[in-house]
Structure 1
Amino acid sequence: MTTANKIRVICGDILDFVDDPAVAGDKAYRYFEQGALVIQDGKVADLGFERDILPSLALAYPDQLIDTKRYTGRLIIPGMIDTHIHLPQTEMIGAYGEQLLTWLTEYAFPTEKKFADEDYARQVSQRFIDELLRNGTTSALVFGTVHPQSVNAFFSEAQQRKLRMIAGKVMMDRNCPEDLSDCPESSYQDSKALIEKWHNVDRLSYAVTPRFAPTSSPEQLAKCTQLLEEYPDVYLHTHLSENKDECAWVKELFPESEDYLGVYEDAGLVRRRSVFAHSIHLAERELDCLAKTQASVSHCSTSNLFLGSGLFNLKACEKRGIHVGMGTDVGAGTSFSMLQTGNEAYKIQQLQGEKFSAFKGLYLATLGGARALDLEGTIGNFNTGCEADFVVLDYQATPFLSFRLKEAKTLHERLFAIMMLGDDRCIEATYILGEKAYKRDGQPQFKPTLADISEPSVLKEVS
C-alpha cells in the first residue's frame, strides 16, 4: 500500500488557533479533548472529536488503508514556526558577556567565517535541523552567511527532509570583516543565482538578506530592492532597532533617513513579506509604517534579554494589527525551544505591566508565525488543506512537570505550565507532512504512576 493510498489518523488532545487571542479571545483557539486529525497526501483532510471522526472514516475512504496512531493523554499542536534564527551561530550559542555590536565582533563574525567551507556548512546544517525538529520547530526563517555555499548546504539538507524553510545569503559590503564582505554587484548576482536554484522548489523559499542597515551601503540596499522587484514573492529578512547603540549608529550612517525603519523604507524594502527581527526601539511613525505596508516583525525575546537589548512593545503591534511571530534568534538566543522563547516573552510583558497568556504564546509560535511569513492557509493550523506538520507534546515529560500538572485545573493552566517549564524534553514526536521526522529517544522519559496521570478537573472544550 503506497502513501498515496493511505489515510493517517492521529488521535489525542488537539489544539490549534484560527485567530489571535488578542483579537478573538476564547474564540481564537480550537481544543478537542480526545480529538482526531485526518491526513491525506501530507495535508489535513479533517479535524474534530474522535467520536465524530472515526465512525465515518471507512465510508469516507472506502478504497484506502486507514492507519490510526493514538497519543492518549498527549497534546497535538501544529508544528512551531521560528521566524528569526541564524544557522551559523549554532556552535557559539550562549557566548558570554557582551551586548549586540561587541558580540557580533567577538563571537558571531569569527564563527561565520567557517562557512566558506561547504562541507562544514553541511555538517552544521544537519545539526541545526536536528535541533529544530527535536524542539518541535517544523519551519523557520533562517540567516545563512555571506557565503552562497552556506545557503546551498542548508537548502539541500532541508529539501532531503521535505521541510518548509526560508533562507538567504547574508549581504554586507561595509563595517564587517574583509573576508565576510561582498559588494553590491556580487551580492546581487549570488542572491539571484540562489533564488533561481532554490526559490519555490519543493517547500523551500528564498529571503533577500541584508544583515542590517549598518553593514549595507545604499548601493547594496538598492540591489536588494532590485531582487524584490524581479522576484516579487521572495522575502526580505533583516534586523531592525535591536539595540540603542545600533540605532544611534544607523542615524550617523543614514542622516538623511527619518529613522531606522526609514532607511529600509527609503530603499523600497518595507512591504508585504518583509520580516524585521527585534523591532524594539520603534517610534510611532515606524509602527504605523509597518502596519500600512503589511510588513511583519519577529519578536526574539530570549536574545533580547540575553544581550540586554530592551523590551519589545507587543501591545503597540497588536493595536495596529502588525503581524508578529516569535524567533529564537539562536545564537544570541540561548535555546532552540519555542516553548522557552514563550517563557521569556511572558517575562518581557510582565516587566512592562502587560499580560501574556499561554494561548498568546502558542498562537505566536504557530498561526502567528505563519501570518508573519505570509503562509496562513499553508502552515500554522489544522484547517483543511494545510500541510500536516505537527508536534506531539508530552505532559509527563519529566517527573516535576507531571507533579506540577496535577494541580492544573484548566486547559490554560496546563498550557502555561508547559510554556514555563517545558523544553525539548516535552517533544515526544515531530511530524512532517504527516510522517514522523523525529521521535524522542527512550520513550517515555518519565514512567508515570497512576497518581501521576490521574485527570484533574474537566478541561474546557472548544469545537
Structure 2
Amino acid sequence: MPTVIPAPHGPTTPLQRRVFYGTAIHAVSLTETEYLSNTLIGVDEAGVITFVERSVASDEVDERLRSLGWVDQAAQLVRLQKGEFLMPGLIDTHTHAPQHLNLAFGQQFELLDWLDKVTFPAEAKFADPAYARRTYDEVVRRAISIGTTTCCWYGTIHPTTKILAAICHRQGQRAFVGKCNMDRNSAPYYQESSAQQSLADTEDYVSFVRSHCDSPSLASSTVSPVKRSSAPTALVQPILTPRFAISCTDEVMQGLSEMMDRDEHLPLQTHLSENPAEIEFALSLYPGIASYTAVYDRFRLLRRNTVLAHCVHMSDDELNLIKQHESGISHCADSNFNLRSGTARVAAMLDKGIKVGLGTDVSGGLSLGVLSSIRAASTASKTICFHERESRSSSLPNGTASSAPSADTVLSADGQSRPAGFFASKHLSLETLFYLATLGGAHVCSIEDRVGNFVVGKEFDAILVQTGQGEAREHAAPAQSEAASLEDEVEKALAGAATEEESEGPGNPALLVTPDEPIERVFEKFLFAGDDRNMGSVFVRGRIIGGARPLASA
C-alpha cells in the first residue's frame, strides 16, 4: 500500500526552506538531458527554486550557502547519497480517475465495445457521492505515489467530480480536473439529460473549483519568477471535458467554445482519432466535413490550451491544423496497444513542432504511472521504425539510399530549430522520452513557465529517486585470484551464502544497479525498471505530498 502522507497544513502555508546537495537530472530540450553532479538546489518558503549552483565540492557547501545568504535562514540541508537523485515530477496529460478500478481488466475489447461493456458501467457508479469519495481518495494517493505531480484527470458526468477536484486540492497534487460532457450516443443510464443541463452543470463545476480549490502561488521573497502568463496559479484547475465529438451535441460543443471565449485561461481536453471505428462514427455525424480534427476546429475548440488525447490516425492536414492552433497532444501508447487502436506518429508530430506529452489513459492503459508511458512510447516508436524499414526495403532496389534530408528547418515545441524531418525514421531517444514525460507535458498543459525542469524561478515539483545503488557493497568486492575466487564463490553458492547485506532500501527487484555504474546508466535503468518503491519523496511546489520514504523536516 502507498505511504499515507498527512494532508498539507494548507496550500498557502509557507514552507521550511530546503537545500538539496547531490545529483539532479532534468530535460533541457527534446534532445538534451542535463546531469547535474555535486549541485546545490535551493527551494524557498514559497516552493520556488531560488538557486541552482553547479559543481560545488562537498567541503565547499557551507561556504557557498553563506555566500548566497542561506546559512542563517534555518534551511534544511539534504545531502543525497550515492544512487539518489532529483528529477522533475512526472506529468500525466491524460487519464480517467473513475476507471482506475478497471485497471488491467477488459483487454479483449476495442474502443467502442470497451466503452459500452466495461467503462460506462464503471463510471455510472460515481453518481454515489460516498462511493466517489472513497474511490477518488485512493486513486489520487496512488497516482502521487508513482511520481505523478501533475495530472489531467477525466471525471464523470456527475457533480461528484467536485469531490475529485477537492481531493486533489487536499492531497496537494497539481491537477486539471474535468467533468465530462456527454449528452448523446452514450448508454441510456449514463448520459446527460440535455445540452442545457450539461452546460449548466459545467458552469457550476468550474465555479466550484475556482472558489473551493484555490491555492495561489506564494510570492517568493528571494527570487523574481521566470516570465509567466496571467493564468490562475492554483494547483487545481477546472478543465472543460467533452468526452469526444460522438458524445456531444453541436449545442454542447458551441456552448463550451463560448465558455472559452469568456475565459481565455479555461483549458479543454478531449479525445481525437483514437480508433478507426470511432473516426468513422464521428465523420458520419458530420457529413461533408474534411476530417475528425476539423470537427473540433468547426466549433473553435482547438486552442493553445487544448489537450488532444491519442491522435493515432492523423493526416498531415490534421496535424497542420493542430500546429496552427498551438494545441497539444497526449500520446497514450500503452492504451493504444491494449485496445488495438494503433501507433501514433509521434515523430511526425515533433517534426511539425507540435507540443506532445505522455498519458497513461487508465484503464485503456494497463499500467499506473508515467514511467509505464515512457516504456510504451519507446516500444511504439520502435514498432513504427520496424514497419517503415520493411516498407523501404521492399520498395527500394538493393543499394539504393533514401532521399537526403531537407535543408529546411522547423521550430520545435522546445523552441529550438531543427532540420525538417529530424525525428523521422528513428525511434524516440531516451532524451526525447524524458522530455515528453516532464517538460513536454508541462508545455501541453501550458504550465511550462512554472514547472517541468530545474530553472531558477520555477516551482519545485520533483521526485527524490532512490535506486539502492550504494547498498550493494558485495558486488564491488575485488576478486583475489581468479582460481581462488572461483573456488570460494562456488562454495558460497553451494552453501547458500548471502550475497548482499540486509538493507532498508527501495526493495525493487527489477532495478539492479552496482556501485560502479555511472549516473547516466543508473538513470536509464530507473526509467525502464523503476517503480513506486524508488520514489523516496514526491514534491509539489516544494511540499512533500507522497513517497515511499518521505523526508522528515529538520
TM-score greater than 0.5 by the shorter chain: yes
After superposition, residues 31-430 of structure 1 pair within 5 angstroms as: 31-41=35-45, 42-49=47-54, 50-51=56-57, 54-59=62-67, 60-61=69-70, 63-73=72-82, 74-96=84-106, 97-150=108-161, 152-182=162-192, 183-199=194-210, 201-202=214-215, 203-353=235-385, 354-396=426-468, 397-398=506-507, 400-401=509-510, 403=512, 411=520, 413-430=521-538
What is the root-mean-square deviation of aligned Cα atoms in Å?
2.1
- What is the TM-score with the length of structure 1 in the denominator? 0.89
Unaligned runs of 5+ in 2: 1-11, 216-234, 386-425, 469-505
User: Is the contact between residue 388 and residue 432 of structure 1 (CA under 8 Å) also seen in structure 2?
Assistant: yes
Rg: which structure is higher? 2
* Aligned partner letter, 2:522: R
> Are the aligned partners of 2:511 and 2:530 in contact in 1 as well (CA < 8 Å)?
no
In terms of mean alpha carbon deviation, does 368-377 or 5-14 score higher?
Answer: 5-14
Of 50-59 and 180-189, the range deviating more from structure 2: 50-59
CA distance in 2 between counterparts of 1:298 and 1:404 reads 32
Aligned in 2, Cα 1:160/1:421: closer, same or farther, shift over 3 Å?
A: same
Asked if the contact 1:32/1:48 (under 8 Å) is kept, the reply is no
Partner residue in 2 for 1:24: none
Distance 1:6 1:269 in 2: 42
- One-letter amino acid matched to 1:201: D
The one-letter amino acid paired with 2:311 is: S
In structure 1, list runs of 5 or more residues that go unmatched: 22-27, 444-463
The 1:260/1:402 distance shift into structure 2, 3 A limit, reads closer
Return the alpha-carbon distance in structure 2 between the equivalents of residues 104 and 54 of structure 1. Answer: 58
SS in 2 for 1:145: coil
CA distance in 1, matches of 2:301, 2:37: 44
Q: Which amino acid aligns with 2:442?
A: A
Give a deviation string over 1:283-308, Cα, whole Å, max 9, x none.
11100011111000000011111111
Residues 395 and 401, structure 1, Cα contact 8 Å, conserved in 2: no
1:393–1:427: 8 Å Cα contact kept in structure 2? Answer: yes
CA 1:389–1:399: 2 relative to 1, 3 Å: closer
Checking the alignment, whether the CA contact within 8 Å between 2:27 and 2:435 is kept in structure 1 is yes
Amino acid across the alignment from 1:66: A
| 1:409 Cα offset (Å) | 5.2
- Shift in alpha-carbon separation, 1:436–1:399, aligned structure 2, 3 A: closer
Is contact 1:237–1:276 with CA below 8 Å preserved after alignment?
yes
Cα shift readout 1:378-433 (whole Å, capped 9, x = no counterpart): 1111111211111022223446555356685561x333322222222221221222
Q: Closer, same or farther in 2 for the Cα pair 1:439/1:380, shift >3 Å? A: same
Contact residue 133 and residue 438 of structure 1 kept, 8 A: yes
2:34 counterpart (26, 30, 53): 30
Runs of 4 or more, structure 1, over 4 Å off, are 2-5, 398-402, 404-410
Task: Supply the distance in 2 between the matched residues of 1:5 and 1:83 (Cα, whole angstroms).
Answer: 28
Contact 1:16 1:381 in 2 (8 A): yes
- Report what 2:478 is aligned to: none
Look up the match of 1:459.
none
Q: Going by fraction, where is strand more abundant, 1 or 2?
A: 1
